[in-house]
């Protein structure tokens, strides 16, 4: 329906039905730029998540607050390079543990659950550190939290709005999940708070993780174990399923186009030989970067992205003259730019090195290349665009590229059925990688 909308009304706004009303969808670069640059008083992302996810009830008012976003956008991003050796160690152990290969034999492994576990361990290595990031009960909690929030919100939104704050609490997973989270993190956070109280914010031996980075920004009531656990659950909500979806799609693209394995393996081998397993080596892996960007271009989270709610009581009139009423929900048509033949040659064909080839051309012409995996634009909205573009994308890109490089350097990979990419699972407006597909793995045979 969204595809039909942007084909019938290119560069315009159109509407699609939902259960009790309509959603608006904008298409075309100038309208997308308008939405991406408008202030929160006009288009609000927080009120949109309140509307679709009952955010304040399911995740709490602190989730995605200024403190939360600031800790991710500035401190987490600044520390990616420093924390990279730990992230890399976790990637090695997580793949080893999940694949559990025996000798040199091939093994058929359900891909999505394996990727989900590796991602959850890897992100939590940065968020809460060892040994909690390997605790299976904790991992189950943070992985299921996202599903419980989405399901809980669906039920809460069926209630009349004035009943939601009271009855929503009984449906919401929030307090139950914080209570479970406190069992894993409570005493650790209390210890950190006590150390800061006694020795100041830069106490010797202070760990470099999300708990410390949140404490750097948190003030007043935010400095409690309860609120910090809530922040950590919300960060996992934003990080785990998005990253594991992106990696699973890239893995399915790789096995269905195996000719990409060798050039990416050679690129990774060479970078690592020269620079070791470092973030600097990852920055050299242009082909892997391009492969992910192409995979995201073709397989995003769904046809509608960047949800916003109209906050101005007078509504908003777009530059094409369409009036969007106060309180309505607006989205961006994701695939329009991603499959635009004016922007991308043969947009329906997977070309894993599309962006690295563009980078080479630009380099030769002495220009500045801006089609990195983390670069957002009106024609590439996998991480959103504008002031609310995903603040975790620098970490996401680093860990996803490190995971893929590790996989192709150390393992041979093969599709289950030759030439067949596992078909996506489609749930209404949400598109997910096939959750039952299996992939063959074996230890890399030297000489390949
Ligand atoms: C491949 C992985 C990821 C994808 C595809 C992704 C995608 C997105 C998208 C599409 C948005 C909405 C942007 C908008 O509406 O303009 C977003 C927002 C956000 N993401 Fe990500 N994300 C990923 C990983 C992460 C990670 C690892 C973190 C945390 C470390 C994170 C934290 C956030 C936060 C906090 C927001 C809300 C930003 C705001 O309200 O201003 N994401 N992400």
Closest ligand 1 atom to Cα of 400: 1
Cβ atoms of residues 32 and 332 within 8 Å? yes
Binding residue positions for heme: 390
Query: 187-240: per-residue pLDDT in tens?
Result: 999 999 999 999 999 999 999 999 999 999 999 999 999 999 999 999 999 999
H or E stretch including 251? helix 225-256
Instruction: Report percent pLDDT > 90 for the chain.
Output: 81
Phi-psi region of 445 (alpha: psi -120 to 50; beta: other; left: phi over 0): beta
Whole-number pLDDT of residue 234: 98
Query: 132-170: per-residue pLDDT in tens?
Result: 999 999 999 999 999 999 999 999 999 999 999 999 999
For residue 388, report the distance from its CA to the centre of ligand 1, in Å: 8
Query: If we measure between CA atoms, which residue out of 73, 53, 79 comes closest to residue 173?
Result: 53
> Residue 256's beta-bridge partner residues?
none
Closest ligand 1 atom to Cα of 46: 40
Mutate to test the pocket of ligand 1, among 25, 337, 383, 387 (most ligand atoms within 8 A of CB): 383
Token pair for 14: 């159109």
> Residue 110's beta-bridge partner residues?
438
Place of tokens 């995979």: 295
Nearest CA to ligand 1 atom 37: 390
Query: 241-265: per-residue pLDDT in tens?
Result: 999 999 999 999 999 999 999 999 9
- State the virtual CA torsion across 30, 66, 46, 5 in degrees, nearest 10: 20
Here the ipTM equals: 0.99
Nearest CA to ligand 1 atom 19: 390
Helix/strand/coil (H/E/C) assignment for every residue in 255-315 = HHCHHHHHHHHHHHHHHHHHHCCCHHHHHHCHHHHHHHHHHHHHCCCCCEEEEEEECCCCC
**Is 432 strand, coil or helix?**
strand
Nearest CA to ligand 1 atom 4: 242
Nearest CA to ligand 1 atom 30: 392
Closest ligand 1 atom to Cα of 305: 10
Closest ligand 1 atom to Cα of 245: 1
Query: 192-203: per-residue pLDDT in tens?
Result: 999 999 999 999
For residue 399, report the distance from its CA to the centre of ligand 1, in Å: 14
pLDDT mean over 393-398: 97
Token pair for 291: 């492969």
Confidence grade of residue 335 (pLDDT, cut at 50, 70, 90): confident
| DSSP alpha helix (H) spans, 128-199 | 136-156, 164-171, 174-199
- Dihedrals phi, psi of 318, to nearest 5 degrees: -75, 165
Model's pTM, two decimal places? Answer: 0.95
Residue 363 has pLDDT above 80, yes or no: no
Cβ atoms of residues 287 and 267 within 8 Å? yes
Mean pLDDT for the chain overall: 93
For residue 260, report the distance from its CA to the centre of ligand 1, in Å: 28
Residue 447 has pLDDT above 70, yes or no: no
Nearest CA to ligand 1 atom 2: 243
Cβ atoms of residues 291 and 13 within 8 Å? no
Distance CA 416, CA 232 (A): 37
For residue 233, report the distance from its CA to the centre of ligand 1, in Å: 14
Distance CA 37, CA 24 (A): 17
Nearest CA to ligand 1 atom 7: 383
Residue ranges lining ligand 1, Cβ < 6 Å: 45, 64, 69, 72, 235, 238-239, 242-243, 246, 305-306, 382-384, 388-393, 395-396
């Amino acid at each position: 329906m969204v595809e039909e909308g942007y084909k019938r009304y290119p560069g315009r706004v159109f509407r699609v039905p939902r259960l009790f009303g309509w959603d608006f969808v904008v298409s075309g670069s100038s309208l997308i730029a308008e939405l991406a640059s408008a202030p929160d008083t006009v288009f609000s992302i927080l009120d949109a998540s309140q509307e679709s996810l009952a955010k304040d009830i399911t995740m709490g008012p602190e989730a995605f607050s200024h403190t939360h976003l600031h800790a991710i956008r500035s401190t987490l991003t600044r520390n990616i390079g420093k924390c990279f050796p730990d992230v890399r160690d976790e990637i090695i152990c997580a793949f080893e543990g999940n694949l559990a290969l025996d000798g040199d034999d091939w093994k058929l492994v359900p891909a999505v659950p394996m990727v989900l576990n590796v991602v959850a361990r890897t992100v939590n290595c940065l968020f809460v550190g060892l040994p909690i990031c390997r605790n299976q009960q904790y991992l189950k909690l943070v992985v299921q939290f996202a599903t419980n929030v989405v399901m809980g919100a669906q039920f809460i939104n069926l209630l009349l709005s004035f009943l939601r704050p009271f009855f929503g609490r009984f449906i919401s997973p929030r307090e139950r999940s914080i209570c479970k989270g406190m069992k894993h993190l409570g005493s650790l956070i209390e210890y950190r708070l006590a150390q800061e109280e006694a020795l100041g914010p830069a106490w010797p031996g202070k760990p470099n993780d999300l708990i410390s980075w949140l404490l750097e920004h948190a003030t007043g009531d935010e400095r409690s174990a309860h609120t910090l656990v809530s922040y950590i659950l919300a960060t996992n909500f934003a990080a785990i399923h998005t990253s594991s979806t992106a990696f699973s799609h890239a893995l399915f693209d790789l096995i269905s186009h195996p000719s990409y394995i060798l050039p990416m393996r050679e690129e990774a081998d060479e970078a690592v030989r020269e620079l070791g397993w470092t973030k600097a080596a990852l920055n050299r892996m242009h082909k892997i970067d391009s492969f992910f960007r192409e995979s995201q271009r073709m397989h995003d989270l769904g046809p509608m992205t960047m949800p916003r709610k109209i906050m101005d009581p007078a509504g908003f009139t777009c530059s094409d003259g369409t009036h969007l009423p106060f309180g309505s929900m607006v989205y961006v048509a994701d695939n329009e730019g991603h499959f635009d033949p004016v922007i991308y040659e043969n947009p329906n064909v997977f070309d894993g090195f599309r962006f690295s080839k563009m980078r080479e051309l630009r380099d030769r012409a002495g220009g500045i290349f801006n089609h990195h995996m983390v670069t957002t634009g009106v024609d590439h909205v996998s991480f959103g665009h504008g002031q609310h573009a995903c603040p975790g994308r620098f970490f996401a890109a680093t860990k996803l590229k490190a995971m893929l490089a590790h996989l192709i350097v150390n393992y041979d990979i093969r599709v289950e059925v030759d030439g067949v990419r596992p078909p996506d699972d489609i749930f209404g407006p949400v598109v997910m990688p096939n959750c039952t597909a299996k992939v063959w793995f074996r230890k890399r045979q030297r000489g390949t």
